[in-house]
Amino acid sequence: QVQLVESGGGLVQAGGSLRLSCAASGRPWSMGAMGWFRQAPGKEREFVAAISRSVGMTYYADDVKGRFTISKDNANNAVYLQMNSLKPEDTAVYSCAMGPVVGARRMEAYDYWGQGTQVTVSS
């Protein structure tokens, strides 16, 4: 089994930055891809970014492209999400996930999920 634990969420003003971390344990990186999703109150969970384990190819949702950066550290079994120029509409619970399909944007493509970390952006 794989366990994923997110950290780094918090309260930040609009225009600020946060860096989220996702630590994998158990059988880390047993699959080819890691992704970040978010769920705002009253909304469905949505894709944010994904990265491949091997070459580090990255994928982003259109509304975070240019502001968010996903990266990985295979040696430490970790994935990160650097979030810059944050907007109030970025407020959500952010969760990391692991799955076999590189670049997948659907939740169903991921097999393991973390509990999530709250990100709140004030205006």
pLDDT tens, position by position, 42-57? 999 999 999 998 889 9
Which whole number is the average pLDDT over 94-119? 95
Which whole number is the average pLDDT over 28-46? 90
- Please tell me the predicted confidence (pLDDT) of residue 76: 87
- Please tell me the predicted confidence (pLDDT) of residue 26: 82
Residue 30 has pLDDT above 80, yes or no: no
Burial 62-89 (b: 16+ CB within 10 A, else e): eebeeebbbebeeeebbbbbebeebeee
Q: What is the radius of gyration, based on Cα positions, of the chain? A: 13
Rounded distance between C-alpha atoms, residue 50 and residue 96, angstroms = 9
- Please tell me the predicted confidence (pLDDT) of residue 27: 74
- Please tell me the predicted confidence (pLDDT) of residue 29: 65
Q: Which two tokens stand for residue 14?
A: 């609009």
Rounded distance between C-alpha atoms, residue 102 and residue 95, angstroms = 17
